[in-house]
Amino acid sequence: MKKDLEKLKQEFEELIHKVTDRDNLENLKTEFLGRKGKLKNLLQHVATLADEERKVVGKIANEVKEAIEVAYGNKEQEIVGSESSVHAQREWIDITEPGHFNEEGHLHPTSQAIAEISDIFGRIGFSAVRAPEIDWDYYVFESLNMPKDHPARDDWETFFMDIPEAKKGKLVLTPHTSNSQVRHMEEVKPPIRMININRTYRRQIDITHIPMFHQFEGLMIDKDISVTHLKGVLDYFAKAFFGPNRKTRLRPHHFRFTEPSFEVDISCEVCGGDDSGACRLCKGGWVELGGAGMVHPNVLKAGGLDPNVYSGFAFGWGVERTFMMREGIKIDDLRILYKNDLRFVKQF
């Protein structure tokens, strides 16, 4: 039996040598040390041996069992070690390698311009308001002293909603932001300093016109407001937005809702205001940005204000045109702003 035990130990040691994974290791251990294993099997007649011999065999059996357990333990360590090194190799990361960054978007140039315009006017106390983008004919035209036959009220210029007329007329996709004027006067009493920036719509499309564009409307009303204040505010804006060397010019014009009315020009960034006509961009030193004027007495009345007490000015400029005239922008076709071409948008 001693020999058999020795052989068993040797057999185990030979077999364990070839084992490379946990499952086979466990199976081998069960095969030798399990309840129905080889060692138990070998020792089943030990009780029939004489006392002396039983002690010796029992001692050897314990030594064999211990040796098998030690060999098992060592193998287990070995397998765990090799498993973790395989794992480490598979999962290896180079912490010095530069990471992958998600591309960060940014605001569209028009939105950037809107934020900047609001901020510039905010600094001189103009509070931002938001008049409806779809509004009644009354606020868009009628209350602004525009007669029924005014060309802007024609279907070819303005988008009218296809729904029945109500008390304040048809519903209109606002073709300008001036609908904010009487709306604001109805809500707030002077002194008024407001800026309304919104989307506007017209039936126009070419290199300087788009059907959906943005305007910013400024309105200031108080006692003794004059053209000088208008000029001061516009100059302040031009210098803040375009830079200290730019100037504005008021050119006589006609709007139904202002009297007197002006077109506002900005000195050309390319020639710096050269009036010789040599500049290819502006042909005279100035570029038109929008309209302005002193609020018409009829508009003040529509807003519930007495024109003998109050006066004010208003202006309405295109955001896209204003942005386009910024130093270094050099956009020669306004439509590119809304073509969703990332190569263009990413430049700003």
Residues that bind ligand FA5 (CB under 6 A): 176, 178, 202, 204, 209-210, 213, 215, 217, 255, 258, 288-293, 314-318, 320-321, 334
CB of 320 to ligand FA5, least distance (A): 5
Nearest approach in angstroms of CB 253 to ligand FA5 is 8
Which residue number, 42 or 174, has a Cβ lying nearer to ligand FA5?
174
Beta strands in 110-233 (DSSP E): 127-129, 134-136, 159-160, 171-173, 192-201, 212-222
Which amino acid type is present at position 115? A
> Which residue number, 5 or 140, has a Cβ lying nearer to ligand FA5?
140
Structure tokens at 219: 């309105």
Taking the complex as a whole, the smallest distance from the CB of residue 288 to ligand FA5 amounts, in Å, to 6
142 or 217: CB nearest ligand FA5: 217
Q: Which is nearer to ligand FA5, 204 or 245 (CB)?
A: 204
CA distances from 305 to 129, 132, 287, 296, 299 (A): 19, 22, 34, 11, 9
Comparing CB distances to ligand FA5, the nearer of 158 and 279 is 158
Minimum CB separation of residue 201 from ligand FA5 in Å reads 9
Instruction: Quote the least distance from Cβ 282 to ligand FA5, whole Å.
Output: 14
Nearest distance, CB of residue 139 and ligand FA5, angstroms: 12
Residue 135 vs 217, nearer CB to ligand FA5: 217
Contact assessment for residue 255 and residue 291, using Cβ atoms and an 8 Å cutoff: yes
Smallest distance from ligand FA5 to CB 210, Å: 4
- Which lies closer to ligand FA5 via its Cβ, residue 76 or residue 348? 348
Largest Cα span, the chain: 135
Q: Which of 12, 4, 22 lies closest to 66 in space, CA to CA?
A: 12
Q: What order do you get walking across the sheet with 212-222 strand by strand? A: 127-129, 192-201, 212-222, 311-318, 286-295, 258-267, 248-255
Return phi, psi of residue 78, to 5°.
-60, -45
Rounded CA-CA distance 10/245 in Å is 99
Cα atoms found within 13 Å of the Cα of residue 52, Cβ hemisphere only: 0
